[in-house]
A and B are shown apart, each in its own frame.
Chain A
Amino acid sequence: MTTPLSKAADRFSETAIDDEIVVMSLENGDFFSLTGTARSIWLLIDGTRDRAALGRDVAAQFGCSEQDIAGDLDAFLDQLNGAGLLVGA
């Protein structure tokens, strides 16, 4: 099993507004507005799941195959990692 992914809690602030989550990097002030699958992935990154488990659980939530969401998942994780918001990636 690969390393579980967790959030770099000291590097961002977040808030929920209606059904969206706004995340701000404390390093540069950049904002991310998360909806749909991105919101679900963000909520599932809790230090207990690696990349494969995330794919499995997100796919189950949206009733699709892991293959269907693999591209979106990788792109989003890359984005979070690039912003320094992930630990274990």
Chain B
Amino acid sequence: MAATRSPADSMALMARETRWHYGPVPRELGGQPIPADSRLFAQGQFVLRTLSGYGYHYVPGEGITIEQPEAGDPDEEALWLNGSVYAAAACLNGFFPLHASAIADQGQVVAFTGATGAGKSTLVAALGQRGWPMFCDDTLLLDLADPARIMALPGHKRLKLTGEALAMLGIAAEQPVGADTGKSYAAPPAGDWCEPLPLTVLVFLEDGEEPDWLEVAGAARFARLADDHYTRELYLEAQRPDRASQFGLRSRLAGQIAMARLVRPRSAAGFAASLDLAEARLQEMGREFQP
């Protein structure tokens, strides 16, 4: 079966659907109220209201409306827009967001996932210092239109690093992210990759005593996909797939993406060792994928 849309079409679709403007955002959808600090998918639309008073409303075909509070914080506004709102719009258009940061590696994407604070962005920045371009930071958008492969769309977010990560890697901060995140924007050392590529490897970042790279095989790959964090919930809320559809999606991801665990202690020395491991494994994979 052929893909229902090309990766270029998908890029154009997301660019079109995430155009935004300021305006009023409804307080309810389909008769359901949307109080502050909540979100709702209804009638094929999405509304988010933040505790600080921001409102976001996505309508397919019409883009995103942003309602600002009286004393808005532009940094916070951008974080919500590029985070949950962007992911919600993607979900309503059939894309699957993964909570992951990724690099481009010889025509494919290698993604790193883990809970917030697991070191996804730091690892991608460090691999950038060793020559791998950044593919995305924090949210990896998957395009499932082609049954033969899982395409990933390049990220729309700038690289964000903590002060600790910047100091450890010796990377200069460009400007504070703001909104009390404690992070700063930074330029990816090997630049950004801007074209869609197939996602072939997903690596789970884990804490452990000894640095190790462990392949994940068989049904464990299927089980591992339950580990994804807020993004899967967003997809389920948007698409409301039944059990069989959810199973089909997880089966496909487990069947078409190789997986591994990168285990490391939470220390500068542990990070350096895990970085060496990741680099070595990426170089091996690169040789394996050579024609």
Residues of A within 8 A of B (CB): 13, 15-22, 24, 26, 29, 31, 33, 35
Q: How distant is the Cα of A72 from the Cα of B222 in the complex, in angstroms?
A: 25
B287 contacts chain A at the CB level, 8 A cutoff: no
- Given A15-B247, A15-B248, A29-B243, 14 additional A-B pairs, CB 8 A: A13-B244, A16-B255, A17-B218, A17-B219, A17-B221, A17-B251, A17-B254, A22-B222, A22-B251, A22-B254, A24-B243, A26-B244, A33-B222, A33-B223
Judge whether B217 is part of the interface by a CB distance below 8 angstroms.
yes
User: 0/1 per residue, B242-280, Cβ < 8 Å to A?
Assistant: 011001100100110000000000000000000000000
Contact check: which of A17, A26, A29, A35 meets B222 at CB < 8 Å?
A: A17
In order of increasing CB-CB distance, the 3 nearest A-B pairs are: A15-B251, A33-B219, A20-B218
A sample of 10 cross-chain residue pairs with beta-carbon separation below 8 angstroms, ordered by A number, consists of A13-B251, A15-B251, A17-B221, A17-B251, A21-B219, A22-B219, A22-B251, A29-B243, A33-B219, A35-B218
Report chain B residues within 8 Å CB of A35: 218-219
Tell me which residues across on chain A come within 8 A of B223, comparing CB atoms: 31, 33
Please state if A24 and B247 are interface contacts (CB–CB under 8 Å): yes
B residues lining the A interface (CB < 8 Å): 217-219, 221-223, 243-244, 247-248, 251, 254-255
Residue among B218, B248, B254 with most chain A CB within 10 A = B218
A26 proximity list for chain B (CB < 8 A) = 243-244
Task: Tell me which residues across on chain B come within 8 A of A16, comparing CB atoms.
Answer: 255
Min CB distance B101 to A, Å, is 25
Q: Complex formed: what's the CA distance from A20 to B247 in Å? A: 15
Shortest CB-to-CB span from A21 to chain B, Å, is 8
- CB-CB under 8 A from A20, the residues of chain B are 218-219
- Chain A residue at minimal CB-CB distance from B222: A22
Q: In angstroms, how far is the closest chain A Cβ from the Cβ of B289?
A: 19
Q: Which residue of A lies closest to B251 (CB)?
A: A15
